[in-house]
Amino acid sequence: MLTSGEVAGIVIGFLALALAVLMPLLTERLKAPKLEIEIVSEQISAGAQYRFLHGRVVNRPHQGLRWISRNPAIDARVVLAFRDGNHKKLFDPIEAK
């Protein structure tokens, strides 16, 4: 039969093991890239048939956890979809790396 001290030691051991496994997993998840697209400039054609957008992709840092830096988005891909004002698909999406 286990004493209460032994049971407490086993419970603390399992909690420490769970913490040792979960902390690196959580830290790596927090370091994952968070990409956002910002529109830098916009030009509308004279006849208002076309609209040209110049954008950039930004990897946002953490707001509250500045000591955890995000990893770069290596080998990322983007899919550009072109739609009209009513969200009707104009032509097939373009995929780029």
What is the pTM assigned to this prediction?
0.55
Per-residue pLDDT tens over the stretch 21-34: 999 999 888 888 88
Helix H or strand E encompassing 39: strand 35-44
CB–CB of 51/44 below 8 Å? yes
Residue boundaries of the structural domains of the chain? 1-30, 33-96
Task: Return the DSSP state at 63.
Answer: S
> In terms of residues, how long is the chain?
97
Helix H or strand E encompassing 32: none
Q: How many Å apart are CA 67 and CA 64, to the nearest integer?
A: 9
Per-residue pLDDT tens over the stretch 42-53: 887 777 677 788
Q: Confidence band (pLDDT; 50, 70, 90) for 60?
A: confident
Greater confidence (7 vs 43) lies with 7
pLDDT of the residue at 18 = 96
